[in-house]
Amino acid sequence: MGQPLLALAVVVFVIGGMVLLYATLGRERAAGTPTRRRSRRKIQVTTSQRNTIIVGAVIGLIAAVLTGWWLLVIAVPTALIGIPWLLRAGPEDAAIERLDALESWTRSLSGLTVSGQGLEHTIEASLPSCPEPIRPQVTQLVARINSRIPTDVALQAFADDLNDATADTVVMHLKLKADLRGNGLAASLKDLAAAMFERIKARRDIEAERSGHRNEARIVTYLVIGLLVVLVLFQQYSAPYGTPIGQMLLAGYLIAYGFVLFMMRKVSRGKPEARPLVSSKSGGAK
């Protein structure tokens, strides 16, 4: 009697969850701009993620009917969404790539500096050869300068666009040296690029150590998934887990393992450095 009740409860839970998912997360955003506080709290789920959850639930339901393990109806879609999210690299890789581009761009500024020309002209001349990871931000910077926005305000908006402590250091230096001309500006930019190179190297070393822990977690997770597949296929060795109590115990083990992965992800990502520049509310545009 326990098995049919468990199956019915799981099916009702999954169907109700799918209806709730489409009702709450499948809506298009209402007209008008939401408040900043509300937009931060809202969970964004893409169409691809919703489809993955539904496909996973269907696959899990079919596997549950064939094996009698009704836990698969929940476990499969959860794994399809959760495991890639838990094991993927954090935003630090993309941030380091942008900083690499920023260092290369800063170094190129020193070579583009022409005698008698200031920072504004040098920045505009750098746009055609700007590295791709920061091209949108530099394009916005040039547009602001050409719109007669004060250079310090445009640089502050540039820092807000990049949103990184190391980028703030670059912007602070550019603000201090904005009045220099010719060789003085070129030498200052060259020294800045050299300092950036050392700082980025240190951040890259830290991220390499973190990625090693993520790779170890991936290997262990793949082994756990393989073991679960074996348990499902060869139930003569895992018959106790096919009972309602066994399914609940297995669910507890999986939740505990997922929590461990979550904590590892949280630790491996670290905390972002505090920005020395306060973000401007207007983004430099008025």
Handedness of CA 210, 194, 132, 43 (dihedral sign): positive
Q: Could you count the other beta carbons within 10 Å of the beta carbon of residue 180?
A: 16
pLDDT at 160 over 80: yes
* Tens-digit pLDDT profile for residues 244-265: 888 888 888 888 888 888 887 7
Report d(CA 222, CA 226) in Å as an integer. Answer: 6
- Write down the pTM of the prediction: 0.58
DSSP character at residue 29: P
Report d(CA 11, CA 230) in Å as an integer. Answer: 24
Residues 6+ away with beta carbon under 8 Å from 135: 127
Residues 6+ away with beta carbon under 8 Å from 102: 134, 162, 166, 167, 170, 196
Written as six digits, the tokens of 182 are 């010719």
Report d(CA 187, CA 152) in Å as an integer. Answer: 20
Are 155 and 176 within 8 A, CB to CB? no
Written as six digits, the tokens of 227 are 């073991």
pLDDT at 83 over 70: yes
- What are the helix (H) ranges across the chain? 2-25, 36-41, 47-67, 72-87, 92-112, 119-126, 135-146, 151-162, 165-176, 182-233, 244-269
Report d(CA 235, CA 233) in Å as an integer. Answer: 6
* Tens-digit pLDDT profile for residues 202-232: 878 877 777 777 788 888 888 888 888 888 8
Q: Range with the lowest mean pLDDT among 40-49, 107-116, 134-143, 179-188?
A: 40-49
pLDDT at 62 over 50: yes
